[in-house]
């Protein structure tokens, strides 16, 4: 349900805008009334933006796009009905419905997968900020302004996580493996025997053995017992490729 009505500029205000920079029209999507009104009041103190409407669900916002005509949509990442990634999906829908409209997603999750999903179809007019930033009017307005003119904004903490992940992957012994060796290791991690791996990857048993020996050498496991080698190699593979504890798509909503 729509939680506020669009504010129409009075003639005097319209005249004022013609003489100065036109305020960015912002529509807010946030299911928490307290947070929604808090953001509205925060932005009301900036002449650079005009919050023309606010909604508690995505469908209501979509249904009023032609009336509100926002330059930027500021949305929570998790909204009814599923409370998962509605904000990301909204941004994706707007690529089709209103490609000229920017979207800034606000989230409590410093998780790269959400950001990558948001930017999957392009980074222009898209932003991702952690909710801790919404208390800083300057940062929030700066993000809205950047997205409104076609730019993109990613929260610095997300960038740090991405850089750390890149550095960790680059320094991992698994980075030394060839693509075929990684495929063989993945089969080992699934608990398959050499014969089963050969059948799955359409290789000879001898080829599988050569790949496995190379894997052990590159992972520094050549001196270990045979069973220990397979266990340790599997653990290294799973440690790097398994989702981290607290995966954002399984985290309880707060």
Show me where the domains of the chain are located: 11-155, 172-241
How many residues belong to the chain?
Answer: 254
Radius of gyration of the chain, Cα coordinates, nearest whole angstrom: 25
Answer whether 82's CB lies under 8 Å from 88's CB: no
pLDDT at 156: 80
pLDDT at 3: 45
Give ∠ CA 62-250-154 in degrees, rounded to 5.
Answer: 60
Tens digits of pLDDT across the chain (254 residues) = 444 443 444 334 444 444 347 999 999 999 999 999 999 999 999 999 999 999 999 999 999 999 999 999 999 999 988 889 999 999 999 999 999 999 999 999 888 788 888 888 888 899 999 998 888 999 999 999 999 999 888 888 887 776 666 566 666 778 888 999 988 988 887 678 899 999 999 999 999 999 999 998 888 887 666 656 776 777 677 666 544 433 443 333 33
pLDDT at 244: 45
Question: CATH top-level class for 11-155?
Answer: alpha beta
pLDDT at 93: 95
> Would you state the torsion angle of the CA atoms of residues 194, 200, 201, 202, taken in this order, to the nearest 10 degrees?
100
pLDDT at 33: 94
pTM of the model: 0.63
Reading phi first (left if > 0) and then psi (alpha if -120 to 50, else beta), residue 2 is in: beta
pLDDT at 89: 95
For 24, 52, 83, the CA distances from 149, given in Å and listed in that order, are: 10, 18, 29
pLDDT at 116: 81
Domain 172-241 architecture: Orthogonal Bundle (1.10)
């Amino acid at each position: 349900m729509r939680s506020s009505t669009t504010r129409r500029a009075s003639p005097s205000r319209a005249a004022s805008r013609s003489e100065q920079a036109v305020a960015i029209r912002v529509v807010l999507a946030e299911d928490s009334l307290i947070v929604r009104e808090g953001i509205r009041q925060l932005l009301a103190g900036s002449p650079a933006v005009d919050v023309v409407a606010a909604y508690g669900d995505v469908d209501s916002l979509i249904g009023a796009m032609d009336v509100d005509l926002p330059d930027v949509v500021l949305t929570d990442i998790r909204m009814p009905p599923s409370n998962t990634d509605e904000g990301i999906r909204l941004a994706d829908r707007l690529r089709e419905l209103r490609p000229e409209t920017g979207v800034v997603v606000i989230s409590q999750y410093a998780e790269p997968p959400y950001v990558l999903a948001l930017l999957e179809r392009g980074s222009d007019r898209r932003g991702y900020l952690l909710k801790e930033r919404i208390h800083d009017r300057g940062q929030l307005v700066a993000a809205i302004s950047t997205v409104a003119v076609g730019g993109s904004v990613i929260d610095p903490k997300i960038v740090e996580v991405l850089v750390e992940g890149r550095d960790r992957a680059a320094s991992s012994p698994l980075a030394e493996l060839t693509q075929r060796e990684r495929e063989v290791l993945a089969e080992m991690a699934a608990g398959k025997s050499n014969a089963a791996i050969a059948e799955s990857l359409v290789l000879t048993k001898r080829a599988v053995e050569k790949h496995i020996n190379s894997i052990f050498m590159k992972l520094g496991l050549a001196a270990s017992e045979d069973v220990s080698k397979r266990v340790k190699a599997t653990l290294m593979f799973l440690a790097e490729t398994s989702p981290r504890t607290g995966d954002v798509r399984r985290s309880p909503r707060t």
